[in-house]
Structure 1
Amino acid sequence: MVVEKLSNTIDLHRELKALGVDSGGISILADKGKMHLIRIRDLHVGAANILKQDALSIGADLAVPKGTVTALTPRVDVLLIATERQLQQLAKKEKAQPFGLKQLSVELESFCHAKYENEISIMGILNANDDSFYHASRFQGNQAIERIESMINEGADIIDLGGVSSRPGSMAVSAEEELRRVRPIIDALYEQRLYEKTTFSLDSYEPEVISYALERGFTIINDITGLANDEVARLCGSYGATAVIMHMQGQPATMQENPAYSSVITDVEHFFRERIAKGSSYGIKEIILDCGIGFGKRLEDNLSLITHQSHYLRLGKKLLVGASRKSMINAISPSSSDERLAGSLAIHLKAIEQGASIVRVHDVKEHAQAIHVWKALRG
């Protein structure tokens, strides 16, 4: 007899299939192998005591503060620990319970339905301005086309072209100036039909620039304002373009001046829900969500959003994370933007592990290799 302890990060479905387990058994056992940790804030103490007993009755558990059983305080924060199957059972149980547990059952069900994307896409960054925070991402003219072709060969699934810096403290430019910067690159890739080789994204929130790109082979609009402009939403809908909705608190010029949240996870989710509804009302079929690392966020906010990326899977959209060479790495381990590749890889692999399916990066080749190795380690 040989006994081996396996990592809980392996592909359990694949492991069960390799053992020859029947399809019905695979479904049941895979659910048992998926663990949920769900924090519930400001819960009625009576609801906490009911939820605790219901959780225990099915083999799950609820961590509660001291004094909960005697209702020492009227409302409490709790932590639910349950497998996928237990979470499904608990959601059903709470539908008939008082103290707001019926509404909680709806929330729990949404986590049951959340699905991870199997395919990971790399979005390569190309800047057509001279003030982006990482100098090695800036290209003009023929060099830009060469860089695009290089990133495609290195493994980029998407190329994200931008003409305006959105780093903290940066100032906006006119739509005319932005178009002047990106037009030669857009025209060149259109003439060379590079859009047949990969997917092109435009990092912009200016309707005039967006319209120009959509007419010339671009199919994704990466909007840091999250469809704040109705005309941008209309253009995405009318052209059938995918919209990347990013969360940002404030504006680039001032966004890092004392940003604050009641709960960054839920505040960002509320924003996403509002903008998803807006995008849908304009006929946008495909939406990608980006929590906006570094856009009006403290270090603790950025870490929380990356670590708990899976929270947003219940919204049913692909998740994008872009932390490439950003200053949060410097806040953890002092370094210049030239020295942050390792930190970028660590953040992006953690985000992928938590459900992100698109990473926006400066270093395509290195990320492609890291993702291939990460997949191999997971079996």
Structure 2
Amino acid sequence: MWIANVPPDSFNGGSRTDDSVSVAHRVKKMIEDGADWIDIGAYSSRPGALEVTAEEEIRRLRVGMEALRKVDSDIFVSVDTFRAEVARIAVTELGADMINDISGGSLDPGMFAVVAETGVPYVLMHMRGTPSSMQTMTDYADVTADVVADLRVKLSRLRAMGVADVVIDPGFGFAKTLEQNYTLMRELDMFGLLDCPLLVGVSRKSMIYRLTGKTPEESLCGTVALNALALERGAAFLRVHDVAAAYDTRAVVAATMNNFKQAIIQS
């Protein structure tokens, strides 16, 4: 799952694609590198990011979606937004295939209804608070058990509304301390209790560069290491900035886990 950022202030400069020419160029390159899925977002969720109106978010998404569909009209695309109306427009007008909501429905009470109405798959991520307040909300009795329990409640609500296709995201970096992030990674197999495919997004995040004393741009090696661990612990999808590195990581992990023939086919 390649991260296509169209906001100008996203935390990883190398992933920013805020005009149609840049979007088209990057999409073409990432598909060549092996991307199966593009996640397009127009509102940076990093702490301290600038506020963006719904109108501006939609405008940016329209530019990005039109450009990427000219490159590949069939590739699977999710829209990264926590706003219900933005999600609705992205699916019904712009052609998005999935909704990826960092807030798990907590920032817009209308989101679950939009997911149910549109019938598209949904990424249910764990977060507390807002991007600006989330790092003050890291008090857990047991971080893994608490995150699983919170997601279980929301998953039950979605199921009751008829939503069948849900992907779970533990929300690495969102309302988690550095130590809590690594606890979640160590105990990642616990999310199998939810009986949903698992998405892991750790690409170039602070849990890597704060630990190593580097920058996001210098955090590819740490990203590869965590992605390998995530796949070994049951992750079905990787959300990444660097598709070629993730593609190779998947092949190596698959071959190591006694799926050598399938790894060769995928490569």
Question: Are the aligned partners of 2:148 and 2:191 in contact in 1 as well (CA < 8 Å)?
Answer: yes
Q: Distance in 2 between matches of 1:246 and 1:146?
A: 29
Q: Distance in 2 between matches of 1:362 and 1:292?
A: 16
From 174, 177, 180, the counterpart of 2:53: 174
Amino acid at match of 1:187: E
Aligned to 1:342: 221
Question: Are the aligned partners of 1:171 and 1:252 in contact in 2 as well (CA < 8 Å)?
Answer: no
Amino acid at match of 1:159: I
Q: Distance in 2 between matches of 1:144 and 1:277?
A: 37
Q: Does residue 184 of structure 2 align to residue 290 of structure 1?
A: no
Residue correspondence of structure 1 range 1-379 to structure 2 within 5 A: 123-139=1-17, 140-190=19-69, 192=70, 194-196=72-74, 198-215=75-92, 216-228=94-106, 229-257=108-136, 259-379=138-258
Aligned residue for 2:134, secondary structure, equals coil
Relative to its length, the structure with more strand (as a share) is 1
Question: Are the aligned partners of 1:169 and 1:254 in contact in 2 as well (CA < 8 Å)?
Answer: no
Give TM-score, length-normalised by structure 1: 0.65
Structure 2 unaligned blocks of 5 or more: 259-267
Amino acid at match of 2:66: D
Displacement of 1:237:
1.5
Identity between Structure 1 and Structure 2 (%): 36
Aligned residue for 2:198, secondary structure, equals strand
Question: Are the aligned partners of 1:238 and 1:283 in contact in 2 as well (CA < 8 Å)?
Answer: no
Q: 1:227 to 1:195 in 2, by over 3 A?
A: farther
Amino acid at match of 1:150: K
Number of equivalenced pairs: 255
Question: Are the aligned partners of 2:121 and 2:166 in contact in 1 as well (CA < 8 Å)?
Answer: yes
Displacement of 1:347:
0.7
Displacement of 1:318:
0.5
What is the root-mean-square deviation of aligned Cα atoms in Å? Answer: 1.5
Displacement of 1:258:
5.9
Q: Distance in 1 between matches of 2:253 and 2:146?
A: 31
Aligned residue for 1:318, secondary structure, equals coil
Q: Distance in 1 between matches of 2:2 and 2:61?
A: 16
Q: Distance in 2 between matches of 1:319 and 1:195?
A: 26
Structure 1 unaligned blocks of 5 or more: 1-122
Displacement of 1:260:
1.4
Displacement of 1:186:
1.7
Q: Distance in 2 between matches of 1:287 and 1:340?
A: 29
Aligned residue for 1:221, secondary structure, equals strand
Post-superposition Cα deviations, 1:43-75, rounded to whole Å, max 9, x if no partner, equal xxxxxxxxxxxxxxxxxxxxxxxxxxxxxxxxx
Amino acid at match of 1:242: P
Amino acid at match of 2:76: T
Aligned residue for 1:262, secondary structure, equals coil
Q: Distance in 2 between matches of 1:157 and 1:307?
A: 26
Aligned to 2:265: none
